[in-house]
Structure formats: C-alpha cells, structure tokens
Structure 1
Amino acid sequence: MKPTSENHDAIVLGAGAAGLFCAAQAGARGARVIVVDHAPEPGRKILISGGGRCNFTNIHATHERYLSANKHFARSALSRYTPADFLELVERYGIAWHEKTLGQLFCDGSAREILAMLVEECRIGGVEIACGLSLGEVSHADGMFHVRAGHRTLSARHLVIATGGPSIPKMGASGIAYDLARQFGLKVVQPRPALVPLTLPGDEALFRELSGVATPVEARVADGPWGKAAFREAALFTHRGLSGPAILQISSYWQRGTELGINFLPDLAAGWMVEAKKANPKVGLRRVLGAHLPDRLAVALADRLALAGDLGHHSDKALRAAEGALADWRFNPDGSEGYAKAEVTAGGIATTGLSQKTMEASTVPGLYAIGEAVDVTGWLGGYNFQWAWASGHAAGVAIAQNL
C-alpha cells in the first residue's frame, strides 16, 4: 500500500496522560492535531494508576517536590496550570473524587473516568487519536516534521515527544523519547528507575524473613547526589528488600553506594527508652518495642540490638545507644527492582535545551518534550500526573499560539 501523506498542525507522539492533555489543549485552541501511539488503545498507564482509581493530582504540587538537574525548571508550568485547574475539569465532568492522604486526590470510581474525560476533550478539540501504529522514521526539513506511523506518513510544523520513559515495560514503555531527543541534538540526563522498591544484599537476610511486615517509619538519605531527603510514611519488608511509600519516595534520591537511614520510631521523643526503664525496670526490650512495632519486627530488632534481659540490667548509656540505632538504622541497598517495578523514570530529556514556559526545544523550533520524557520527576502521590497536565498544557497552548 502506498503511504498516504497527511498534513497537521501538530503531531503528538504518545497517547498517555501528557500527550492526550497536550493534544486536547492545542485542539481546543484551533490546532489540527493527531496523537500517535503504538499501543492498541490510549492511556494504558492511566488505567493501572492508583490501584485502578487514578491518583490524578496532589493539592501540594509545587516545584519543590520534583527532582531535576534544574530544580526550578518545573516552576513555570506548574504555576500556570495548577491542581485546582485540573480539579475544575474533573468536576465539570461530574467525576467523584476524594482526598486520601497527604493531598493525594483519587477517583471514587475508576481511572477509566479520567481517561474517558481526556479522550472526550480530544474529541471536542477535533483531535485524532491514532493507536496501534508503530513509529517509523522521524525527520525534520524545511520547517516541517515528517513521521512514518504504520502505513501513514504525517507532516506538521510541530512535533511533541510525549512517549514517557522505560518504566513498566510490560505496558509497552520504552526509551524512544531519548533516541528522538538525541536525534535532534538534545541532551539526555541518565535515566534511572524511580519510585521503585529497593533490594538488600545477603547480609541483610534477617530482614527478608520479615517479608510482608509494614510499619510507619521515617526514611532518609543524608548525602545522596540529589541532596538530603526524608519521608515519613509506611515501609514494607519484602522477600527482596524494602518497599512501601516511604521507600518508593526515598528511592528517587538514592543511588548505589548511598546509605539509607530508617527511623523505626519517629514519633517517640529522645530518651524514651530510659524513661521506659524508669517506669518499669523489669520489662524486656522485645516487649517495649512490641508496644510500638509489629511483633515480628520488634523481635528482629531486639535480637539485633542484643540487649538481653530486663531494661533495668542495662545502663542509660547503653539504652541511649540502642535508641540511637533504632532512630537511624542503616541499610545499604545493592540495587532496585528496576524499570519493571518503577512507577516512573527519573532523568530524561535535559531541561537545559527546553523552554520552561513552552517546553519547546531552543535549537529546534516546533519540537516539544513533555511529561515523564523530560528530566522532571515528582514525588509519589499524584505529582507526576500534575506534571503531565502542566507540561502538556504549556506545550499545547504554545502550539496553538504559533499556528
């Protein structure tokens, strides 16, 4: 079959959250937009997000809660399209929602409601969503981008890279965004799995025996390459290492060779163990810890601390040392569970080559990069969706203004 040649104002590569929202924004302002994706249907990652209920934004989404080589890059887009703006759209569609914890907003029903809203916004804007098309050659000449997509040949003045990162490859994710960026002369910050469970080496085998045990902690990195960070949420012991919200959060700040500190009792004031001895010198450490921690964890920590017998048998100095260990228990993860279990990809297309206002490449007019493809990574809990909406809005508006 001879390829057909089609002209559009904009071609968006990737029918995920950022791509669909960008297309809808441009389409609503008069641009002729086509969204291309190799998947058989749009928004596959949206559907599995938030346990199927889509944690679609976070009311605390400000640029300070995003990682990037340029920590201020996200400020412009996030300030011009806020969580309140997206929530207004959600409510306009009558989608019921609730705040879970820490500013996280979820659908009461299904993530399909968010996807259906995005698809409808595209329909209203006259956007074509073309799924099931494998991406072929992408080129740029005489101010036009040319894209081979399946049997179709597409041309447009504007091209948007919204293909995400390689996290969750079983959903079809890949690093194609980085290949395209390099093709057009843009730099790429080394991608890495983020919001991902961490694995522990063999010498931490005792903690593997605690698989399935969860407890509130404070997880922190004191000297990581992305600065200090601390998160107070639940940690979960797994057969491979550590997971749970606190660990997923801190994983974005961790790199191999960096120690991870865990405070197992973040709500207890300094000196609590000495006070426990004063209150009941005949109580043992296992029992004291068991009042605050799951039984299996209390036993494991007590055994590691090796304070046998009653607390009254130990000096205040020894108890303070044990207390200090519990407040800063050091782990040395030997890796993570990789892109297969990572919720997002950190790193990506370098912000140095992009406009923070429009997401357009400074050296290639008409080329944009948005969403997870860019070196902007949010915390766990709706932040990455808000970046998808904000960056997609910035690019979509800019495209329409430059028709």
Structure 2
Amino acid sequence: MRALVTIGTKVRKFDAIILGAGAAGLMCAARAGQRGLRIAVLERAEKPGKKILISGGGRCNFTNIDAGPAQYLSANPHFAKSALARYTPRDFLDLVEKHGIAWHEKTLGQLFCDGSAKQIVQMLLDECPGSVDVICKADVTAVVKEGDTFAVSASGESYAAPALVIATGGPSIPKMGATGFAYELARQFGLKVVEPRPALVPLTLGGEDVLFRELSGVSAPVTARAGKAAFDEAALFTHKGLSGPAILQASSYWRAGEEVGIDFRAGEGDEWLVEAKRERPRVHLKTVLREHLPDRLADALAERIGIESELGNAPDKALRETARKLADWRFRPSGTEGFAKAEVTIGGIATSELSSKTMEARKVPGLFAIGEAVDVTGWLGGYNFQWAWASGVAAGDALQPRLA
C-alpha cells in the first residue's frame, strides 16, 4: 500500500474521499455533501450498499429503537457514547419516514422495512446531493499522503483530497467482497488495530458435544450465556454445531477454550421436576421435557441425563440436580464458522487512535475511520447499522470544505 500513486493525465480533486459505499460511507457522504462538500465515494463492488441489501432477509433491520452504548463491544466501551448520543435511532427513523418508507417493529426493538432493503440504499443515495460522486468498480490500488493531500489510485483513475475516510468495513462475509483492507490502510498510517475476530457467528461443536449435531434443524427458546452476557432468544442446532439468535449474540462474548451455558428450563425453578414427580409420579423425564422443548431435543437431553425410570422412582436430589443442569447445560465449542458466516467483526482500528467526536485519527490529520472498520461491534438486531449511521454522521459533520 506504500507504492506511489500512478498519477494519470488528470487528477480528480475533492474535499474528501470516502473508501466504501456501505452504510457508514453513504451516510457520511450524504451529511458532508449536504454541507456543500465535494465528495468522492469509491466502492470496489459493482453497486453500493451490498451488505445492506442482504440484511434482515432482504428487508434490512436498519436500526434498533433501544440502541445505546450498553449494546456495543469495544476495547474502550465508552468510545461509542458520543456518536450514538448525537445521532439516535429516532433520528434515522425520521429519515426513513421522510422518504415514505414503510417499516415495522419486530421483537426486541428491531426495525425493518415493510418492503425491501433496496429502499434504504436508494434513500441514502437520494440523500447525497450532486456534489457527491459514488463511483463503483473502483478497486483501490494505492493510497499515499503527500503533504496535506491524500492521493488515491483506483482502477486506473487518480483522486486527491485533504481528507480520507476509511469505511470499507471488516472481513466478515468475504463472499460479498469483504476484506481486511481497512486494517492494512490503518497500519500503513501508523494506527493500531485490535486483532479482529468473527462476531455474531455460529459455533462449532466437537468431542462429546458432537452428538448434538444429530439434532440439526431443531430450534428452541433458550437463554445462552458466554462470559457475563446472557441472551433470551432461540438457539438452533446445525450439522456443525449451534446457531440461532441467542447463540449468535453469545458468540460475540465467547473466547476460544471457554464454555457456553444454555438454559433449557424455560424459566422453571429448581423444584420443577420434583413438583412434576409429586403430581405425576408415573411420568418419564423425556415426557416432561417434551412439554417444554421439541421432541428430538427433549429425548436427547433425557438420554444424556440418564434418568430412565418413572419420576416417582427418582430421588428428589437427582431431580433437583437435573433441573440445575438443564438450567446451565455446558457446551465447549471447538470454534466458530469463521468470517465466512460471521455477520460482523469484533476488533478493528483501535478507538484509542480516533476522536470519539469526529472519528478523525489523532496523529494523522484528515484521516477518518467509521463503521465496522472501527473496534466497535453491536449486538444482533440493528445495532451495527445504528453505529454505521452514527459514526458516519460524526465524520460527515466534521469534514471541512478545503477544495481550492
């Protein structure tokens, strides 16, 4: 990346160059363009907003009405507070409604388009005034800073500006063209990078747990725990291990070698099975479990617990221990399904290198980083889009008109 830019016969000059036409990049371009700045958005893909288009099953879970700093992971948990406070879910919803896009709220504050995610991409493009050029199929081959100017070569064209915004995301979903380019660029300019790892990603099972793969396709409401975090949503058994919303959420807090706890008890207390024994002494454990869980899962858990007799023949102590085990069933994942199946990335450009107000690099004037490229990662359910909007606005509002 340190190679000199090949300057052609004509260099296109702008107030700022934004690398990446995703959620953060387009929001940043719109805000800066509306303030009269001349902006070039360089996108490697053939069209903008590709990750937006596949989100939410094609309907885009564009924000979460409950989004706040507590739902984000970062080496510095305070970093996101400023941007999130200055551009809220309500602010983005106002924009959606201004463009006449119908929406609905699903569970846990998640907001979706009634129609298509294409509406969100079009809305962002419509918000960009004529001073913004969104240039697709622009494969960046070199970036250098020459004095106060950033010079960029992309697909044989040359661009120059006093400000450069890194909005190329992280390496999650490489089939969409995602790469670690943002980190390469950050390191080129001397910025630290927090080691990236997959987040919101299915977990794989091995060892004795591999037997649970036989339940592939079975889903159940659970509480999944990893570290100090717990999530009440559905878990899904797959042919490789565990997935579903509860597991994806927990995966962001899980580290290699640690266990994940699953509560299959559906809110029942320690006396649950003892009470069932007194009320129905001739019933079997798997029958009781089937009343709370899918049959295949209930049978698998009962088999592993090993209480085969009628409940009336089982000691109360054993039933209490079973209830406690069902409340915290331990799995030790062998790993994750990696960036290929991860929805987002944990880690990225270190927040210690950036201003929380403007997203500008402290030691490289004119260099900004926003969105998933930064070490700020949200929960599942619209939180990462809200960070993209908020960080994009922070940078877009901070960019200054400097074009001669």
* Range of TM-score over shorter length: over 0.9
Q: Determine if contact 1:199/1:241 at 8 Å carries over to the other structure.
A: yes
Residues 207, 304 of structure 1: alpha-carbon distance in 2 compared, 3 angstrom cutoff: same
Distance in 2 between residues matched to 1:195 and 1:233, nearest whole Å: 14
Alignment partner, residue 266 of structure 2: 266
Alignment partner, residue 338 of structure 1: 338
Alignment partner, residue 395 of structure 1: 395
- Any idea what SS the aligned residue of 1:363 has? coil
Q: Determine if contact 2:14/2:40 at 8 Å carries over to the other structure.
A: yes
Equivalent position to 1:196, from 184, 201, 212: 201
Q: Determine if contact 2:15/2:401 at 8 Å carries over to the other structure.
A: no
Residues 402, 328 of structure 1: alpha-carbon distance in 2 compared, 3 angstrom cutoff: farther
What residue identity is the alignment partner of 2:280?
A: N
How far did 1:107 drift?
0.1
Equivalent position to 2:40, from 34, 42, 45: 34
Residues 125, 313 of structure 1: alpha-carbon distance in 2 compared, 3 angstrom cutoff: farther
- Any idea what SS the aligned residue of 2:236 has? strand
- Any idea what SS the aligned residue of 2:186 has? helix
What residue identity is the alignment partner of 1:175?
A: G
Equivalent position to 1:60, from 46, 56, 66: 66
Write out the 4+ residue segments of structure 1 that deviate beyond 3 Å after TM superposition.
400-403
Distance in 2 between residues matched to 1:163 and 1:272, nearest whole Å: 51
How far did 1:268 drift?
1.3
Alignment partner, residue 141 of structure 1: 146
Distance in 1 between residues matched to 2:279 and 2:163, nearest whole Å: 71
What residue identity is the alignment partner of 2:54?
A: I
Residues 320, 137 of structure 1: alpha-carbon distance in 2 compared, 3 angstrom cutoff: same
How far did 1:195 drift?
0.2
Cα-to-partner distance string for 1:62-118 (whole Å, 9 max, x where unaligned): 011000000010000000000000000000000000001100000000000000001
What residue identity is the alignment partner of 2:373?
A: A
Alignment partner, residue 163 of structure 2: 158
What residue identity is the alignment partner of 1:235?
A: A
Cα-to-partner distance string for 1:156-177 (whole Å, 9 max, x where unaligned): 0110000000000011000000
Q: Determine if contact 1:30/1:400 at 8 Å carries over to the other structure.
A: no
Instruction: Please give the TM-score of this superposition, normalised by the length of structure 1.
Output: 0.97
Equivalent position to 1:96, from 94, 98, 102: 102
What residue identity is the alignment partner of 2:200?
A: L
What residue identity is the alignment partner of 1:340?
A: A
Distance in 2 between residues matched to 1:280 and 1:69, nearest whole Å: 52
Q: Is residue 2:331 matched to residue 1:328? A: no
Alignment partner, residue 192 of structure 2: 187
Q: Determine if contact 1:359/1:370 at 8 Å carries over to the other structure.
A: yes
How far did 1:269 drift?
2.5
How far did 1:206 drift?
2.0
Identity across aligned pairs (percent)?
Answer: 65
Distance in 2 between residues matched to 1:281 and 1:240, nearest whole Å: 38
Distance in 2 between residues matched to 1:290 and 1:326, nearest whole Å: 13
Q: Determine if contact 2:15/2:402 at 8 Å carries over to the other structure.
A: no
Distance in 1 between residues matched to 2:316 and 2:42, nearest whole Å: 67
Cα-to-partner distance string for 1:110-155 (whole Å, 9 max, x where unaligned): 0000000011111x25210000011011011211111011121111
Distance in 2 between residues matched to 1:354 and 1:289, nearest whole Å: 52
Instruction: Please give the TM-score of this superposition, normalised by the length of structure 2.
Output: 0.97
Q: Determine if contact 1:30/1:125 at 8 Å carries over to the other structure.
A: no
Q: Determine if contact 1:4/1:151 at 8 Å carries over to the other structure.
A: no
Q: Determine if contact 2:16/2:40 at 8 Å carries over to the other structure.
A: yes
Distance in 1 between residues matched to 2:193 and 2:211, nearest whole Å: 40
Alignment partner, residue 9 of structure 1: 15
Alignment partner, residue 225 of structure 1: none
* Unaligned stretches of 5+ residues in structure 2: 1-6
What residue identity is the alignment partner of 1:32?
A: R
Q: Determine if contact 1:28/1:125 at 8 Å carries over to the other structure.
A: no
Alignment partner, residue 21 of structure 1: 27
What residue identity is the alignment partner of 1:265?
A: R
Distance in 1 between residues matched to 2:43 and 2:119, nearest whole Å: 20
How far did 1:3 drift?
4.5
Alignment partner, residue 106 of structure 1: 112
Distance in 1 between residues matched to 2:277 and 2:108, nearest whole Å: 35
Cα-to-partner distance string for 1:44-69 (whole Å, 9 max, x where unaligned): 11100000000000011101100000
What residue identity is the alignment partner of 2:77?
A: K
Higher mean C-alpha displacement, 125-134 vs 5-14: 125-134
Alignment partner, residue 357 of structure 1: 357
- Any idea what SS the aligned residue of 1:30 has? coil
Q: Determine if contact 1:3/1:152 at 8 Å carries over to the other structure.
A: no
- Any idea what SS the aligned residue of 1:235 has? strand
What residue identity is the alignment partner of 2:151?
A: H
Q: How do 1:114-133 and structure 2 match up within 5 A?
A: 114-122=120-128, 124=129, 126-133=131-138
